A and B are shown apart, each in its own frame.
Chain A
Amino acid sequence: MLGIETSCDETAASVVTDDARILSNVIYSQLVQHAPHGGVVPEIAARAHLESVGRVVDEALKQAGVTWSDLSAVSATAGPGLIGGVMVGLMTGKAIAAHLDKPFLGINHLEGHALSPRLSHGVEFPYMLLLVSGGHTQILLVEDVGQYRLLGTTVDDAAGECFDKTAKLLSLPQPGGPHLEKLAGKCTDLASAIARFDLPRPLLGKKGCDFSFSGLKTAVREKLEALTTPDGTVKESDAVDLAAALQHAIAGHLSARLKKALESAPQKPKALVAAGGVAANGAVRAALEKLASEAGLPFMAPPSSLCTDNGAMIAWAGIEHFRRGRTDGMDVAARPRWPLDENRVKLST
């Protein structure tokens, strides 16, 4: 299965077999980093996807060591995302499928993320998924292919956005998350850092499993202003403590809401899974591992190559559907908005 992903900033393509072997997983920005003359890292422009998608698909086949005729079917992200980018990938996928006379599947990008633990770890249904990245913070009970129960989502900022924006406030380089984690790692006394800043605990005591990160961001901005010395700088030890307290607060918020989701789930999941870039954060991961162990569930997280936007998860979601007999017509349209649970009623807890 060839999978093509163009819904966000990355142009990506991958070849995956139906026994979950990833033969190739190509991302354009990584390709150009290794190119002798460098290149332009893709931006949000659809034009950038258009310029890179052919090369990325060629490279995915080449690295996989397969030819066009080896493909059984083609999948491409059909949404949600920026309409221009989505259309480039979708049209490319359709054109390849039509030319090869092979089946085509239009895949929901979020479903790609949701099913990726089955590609990496063979997780069985149902499982509790925390999807945490720069753009998403969702708790999903993944019951089956196509059966996703949204238990919670962010009412304002995504968790990754909170990391990135507070890192920016701390004058750290982007991507903010890893830099903030590094800074927080210098903290020698986490307990007193937490006590010192007393950051808000969002939605504490509120019903449901939704998230809110905007208040944390504002709190960090206010604490920073108070810490700023007359010459406009912040002492590193202060920044370290604040970063550590913030990271602790984000991890705590994620795990507190997830705990509620586990308690209120209509059926007991077989595993707790975290996907998305924020799941790579050590403090977040430790909090989730602790939660899983308290709930008596195995914890797993797909590797970062499958957590950032990639073609392999799109190919895999295509395989999961294809195995169940689904294919799409050539009339499947790009959808900027496409909630995963649109056929379900949001669970009130």
Chain B
Amino acid sequence: MAFNKVFHVKNEAELAKVAADIAPCLARGTVLVLEGDLGAGKTAFARALIRHISGDTEREVPSPTFTLVQTYDIPDGEIWHFDLYRLKHPEEVYELGWEDALASGTILMIEWAERISPLLPRFCVRVVIKPEADGTRTITVKA
């Protein structure tokens, strides 16, 4: 089933609203790929999702660029938030517990997934965030 929905948001609060809207569609084991340039709002989107799913609006969700992966406990499992910006070779993702992550049926959110495109599962949810000239964002959700 192809799913393709486009949202236009004016600010981070509206972006968080979109994240909350799609959160119920993310079953355990979903691989969510976040696409967009530096500063587009990928981490902001992931943060809003993690906060919504864990029911904690204040939850600290720092950028995973340095640590490469952060994990979050949620009521019925975990969310793994990857940022593969610093990866040089796809195979390096195995060092980050990639196989465990896939096998455990947790929700995976991945920024800069193109670094490991040969290793991605066939079925991913894609969220493409495109900044527009007027400062708004176009968010496309594809599944």
Binding site for B on A (CB under 8 A): 43-46, 80-85, 134-136, 153-158, 161, 165, 168-169, 214, 217-218, 220-222, 225
Contacts and interface: CB of A to CB of B under 8 A. Distances in A.
A44 B86 CA distance: 9
B67 interface: yes
Contacts of A165: 38-39, 65
- What is the predominant secondary structure among interface residues of chain B facing chain A? loop
A214 B68 contact: no
Interface residues of B, number: 26
Interface of B: 37-39, 41, 43-44, 47, 60-63, 65-68, 86-89, 92, 95-97, 131, 133, 135
Given A134-B66, A155-B60, A156-B62, A221 B95 contact: no
A214 B44 CA distance: 9
A267 B135 CA distance: 44
A155 B47 CA distance: 10
B131 A155 contact: no
Contacts of B135: 222
Given A154-B62, A157-B65, A161-B63, A45 B41 contact: no
Given A156-B62, A158-B63, A214-B43, A168 B96 contact: no
A134 B60 CA distance: 18
B36 to A, nearest CB: 11
A214 B95 contact: no
Nearest to A213: B63
Nearest to B63: A157
Nearest 9 pairs of A and B residues by beta carbon: A135-B66, A221-B39, A218-B39, A157-B63, A217-B39, A84-B95, A165-B38, A161-B65, A156-B63
A80 B131 CA distance: 35
B58 to A, nearest CB: 10
Contacts of A44: 68, 86-87, 92, 95
B62 A155 contact: yes
